[in-house]
Amino acid sequence: MRGLRPITRVAAQANSAFATTSRTVSQRATFSTTTQRSAGAHGPQYDPPTGWLFGVKPGEKYVREGWEFLAFYGFGGSLVVFAMVYAYKPDTSIQTWALEEARRRLEAEGILEDPSSKK
């Protein structure tokens, strides 16, 4: 029964490059070397809910923030530019090419009349 006898830790480390040690999970090295910081170190992460629409009390005037002008008009302007580019882009589909090629071949063979030659 010598083969069933447990191998000692020293013998296992000597025989295997991947031998486990007796360190616990808390003693093992972590993936990150930075320390964990608490969430409250730099103040609150969000504004607490006030119950008012957009956080403005009734009767008060809304004050715009600096990023809003660029975000609203930049987003709207980019949508207008995209719509114009999309509307005027050339038709490069294979179906359109095949239809035009078939029309040209049929006109060359005399099956279809040439629409540019009027009688």
pLDDT at res. 29: 59
24 pLDDT exceeds 60? no
Band (pLDDT 50/70/90 cuts) for residue 52 is: confident
State both tokens at 74: 């930049």
Please state, rounded to an integer, the average pLDDT across all residues of the chain. Answer: 78
Q: Which H or E run contains 114?
A: none
What's the rounded Cα separation, in Å, for the pair 101 and 112?
Answer: 13
Cβ(21)–Cβ(10) under 8 Å?
no
Band (pLDDT 50/70/90 cuts) for residue 32 is: low
Average of per-residue pLDDT across 5-32: 55
Residues in the chain: 119
pTM confidence score: 0.41
Band (pLDDT 50/70/90 cuts) for residue 68 is: very high
Average of per-residue pLDDT across 99-109: 94
What's the rounded Cα separation, in Å, for the pair 53 and 4?
Answer: 74
What's the rounded Cα separation, in Å, for the pair 68 and 74?
Answer: 10
- 118: burial class by Cβ within 10 Å (0-12, 13-18, 19+)? exposed
3-state secondary structure of 61: coil
More confident of the two residues 80 and 19: 80
Residue extents of the structural domains in the chain:
66-112
